[in-house]
Amino acid sequence: MCGIVGYVGGRGATSLLIEGLKRLEYRGYDSAGIAMNNGNGLETRKAKGKISMLEAAVNGNPIHGTVGIAHTRWATHGAPNECNAHPHIDCTKTIAVVHNGIIENYSALRTVLKEKGHVFVSETDTEVLAHLIEENFETTLEDAVMDALNLVEGTFGIAVVSSRDKDKIVAARKGSPLLIGVGDGEYFVASDVAAILAQTREVVYLDDGEVAVITREGYQVSDLGARPVRKGVSRIEWDLDQIEKGGFDHFMMKEIFEQPNSITNAMRGRIVVEDGYSKLGGMNITRDELEKIDNIIITACGTSWHSGLIGELMIEENARIPVETEYASEFRYRNPIVTPNSLCVVISQSGETADTLAAMREAKRRGARTLGLVNVVGSTIAREDDGGVYLHAGPEIGVASTKAFTSQVIGLALLMLKFARRRDMSVARGREIAMAMEALPAQVQQILDRAKEMEMIAEKFKDAQNFLYLGRGYNFPVALEGALKLKEISYIHAEGYPAAEMKHGPIALIDENMPVVFIAPHDSVFDKVASNIQEVKARGGKVICVTSREEPALKGLIDYEFRIPETVDMLYPILTVVPLQLLAYYIATKRGLDVDQPRNLAKSVTVE
């Protein structure tokens, strides 16, 4: 979602802030801005659209200083335009604020502030913060910020500068990620480590309810009551070249092709093939506690929810534990059945997804043990869960998730082995699954080596207006994921369904103009899916089939076929999803679209 970068030091801040914003472009945004304390006052520049527009505005009207903040905005309150872009300033034009999150009581605060004479110029909730800080400014900027935030309801990651209290940035977070970058005589603030990785690897993660005062001399962290908080410094281990395109046209394609490595990394050191079980030391759970768990709740959003559906099927079939996969956004607002013997598995690539984080906190409040499957070390979910499984997929920059999805499915398979081998799964069955898992990276590479085949299919359907994706069993969630990928980056309407459910409504849509993608590997439900293919073909639909071997039953029924290697049923989703990722990518690029930054979407959704 929105991105924050700030700098305090001895160097010119403008180029550092612009560079940091460019590192955050992948998160999704519609406008950008910068504010600088130049020694004589506060200056801001804003622009609608890409960061290149802001850069042009700064080059045309330079802005200088060694203390500044910058922002990329993803519109929530108010249209994407220059006026609504951050930073927002107060009436005196001495305070500038950048903000990620949503101020839920902004309307009431705005009314009160207007009655006191404050003049608002934007439609945003964020502008309220600038005026609140102005209203409470008596001694120091940090005191004013804390007093203002104690009146706020909602979520925030903010950075504030003021010409009335020079040479410092005040930063604070509640529900929206924020960190401090520690340099040599200089310090940074960012919502994502990618923004500052070129400058420092030493970071301090702020937790909810914490405020940081950052100067050239260092930083101090306190809570909103001004009580000091001791913080440790973490070191970022991944390299800058991991967030570069590496010769690919788009991050999404690079990440699709990284999946043999990301799958390997997700499994590395965690599978004992001979004994058919997994080692997951990060779960922080004893054998007795493990055996007491009698139900599992998986909560997630979007692509992560699809991986959760696959995990549900894996665990129930093999470990015989009841599992419910819940949309995190719905879980927290109903009255779920949670007991001390429940395990709540929360899945989030970023580890910052607002709804998923809130669902985890609700599960903890109700007494459940929580386990995070996240990709970002040091993320909020990773810090607050009771135990976790890091995915080790590496940075995922493309907004449409690819390698994180397959790594999540691997993580869930490892979790399944952990439970199943403690229960009824035999050594022989565990060994069969473990060996099949170890074969996956090479099998995915075989699919990627034939990517051009999918590009040729994409050429045929790049102008389609609708798609239907159908699968059964383990591949029904893959149908959902394939449809989501196409919607996200090509803007073509697509729906995923259980193949048999097609008869109960969607079959009315099928004609010669409707492409239907079937996920039909040779698993336990193949014969049933073959019957569904016949039903579509009888009504003139164009059939694209992802399958695993030549099959006489499909002769004459398939218009376009993509063949994948064979594996055990529960692992087919890792192989069947890759051709669908490629199909979405090639269709979108052939339509001339920006696959890395699709419209209206953000990489990390830190608002409800």
Could you give the 3-state DSSP secondary structure of residue 212? strand
Q: Return d(Cα 427, Cα 419) in angstroms, integer.
A: 13
Q: Return d(Cα 576, Cα 91) in angstroms, integer.
A: 57
Contact 602, 28 (CB under 8 A): yes
Task: Estimate the crossing angle of helix 572-590 against helix 427-448, to 10 degrees.
Answer: 20
Single out the residue of 157, 88, 71, 170 nearest to residue 124, CA to CA.
Answer: 88
Contact 479, 518 (CB under 8 A): no
Q: Which backbone phi and psi does 362 adopt, to 5 degrees?
A: -65, -40
* CB atoms inside a 10 Å sphere around CB 594: 14
Q: Which of 2, 301, 344, 545 is catalytic?
A: 2
Q: Return d(Cα 137, Cα 259) in angstroms, integer.
A: 52
Contact 416, 318 (CB under 8 A): yes
Q: Return d(Cα 5, Cα 405) in angstroms, integer.
A: 28
Contact 534, 553 (CB under 8 A): no
CA distances from 439 to 267, 280, 510, 512, 548 (A): 11, 20, 37, 39, 15
What DSSP string describes 442-463? HHHHHHHTTHHHHHHHHHHHTT
Task: Estimate the crossing angle of helix 127-136 against helix 141-149, to 10 degrees.
Answer: 120
Give the 3-state DSSP-derived string for 107-171, with helices as H, strands as E and coil as C: HHHHHHHHHCCCCCCCCCCCHHHHHHHHHHCCCCHHHHHHHHHCCCCECEEEEEEECCCCCCEEE
Q: Return d(Cα 165, Cα 350) in angstroms, integer.
A: 34
> Annotated catalytic, 462?
no
Q: Return d(Cα 62, Cα 143) in angstroms, integer.
A: 31
DSSP 8-state assignment for residue 474: G
* Strand order across the beta sheet in which 218-223 lies: 88-89, 95-100, 156-162, 169-174, 210-215, 218-223
Give me the amino acid identity at 151: L
Structure tokens given for 431: 């060994």
Dihedral sign, Cα of residue 425, residue 426, residue 432, residue 437: positive
Q: Which of 168, 174, 254, 603 is catalytic?
A: 603
C-alpha dihedral (64, 66, 71, 77), degrees to nearest 10: -80
Could you give the 3-state DSSP secondary structure of residue 85? coil
Give me the amino acid identity at 524: S
> Annotated catalytic, 301?
no
**Mind telling me the catalytic residues?**
2, 603
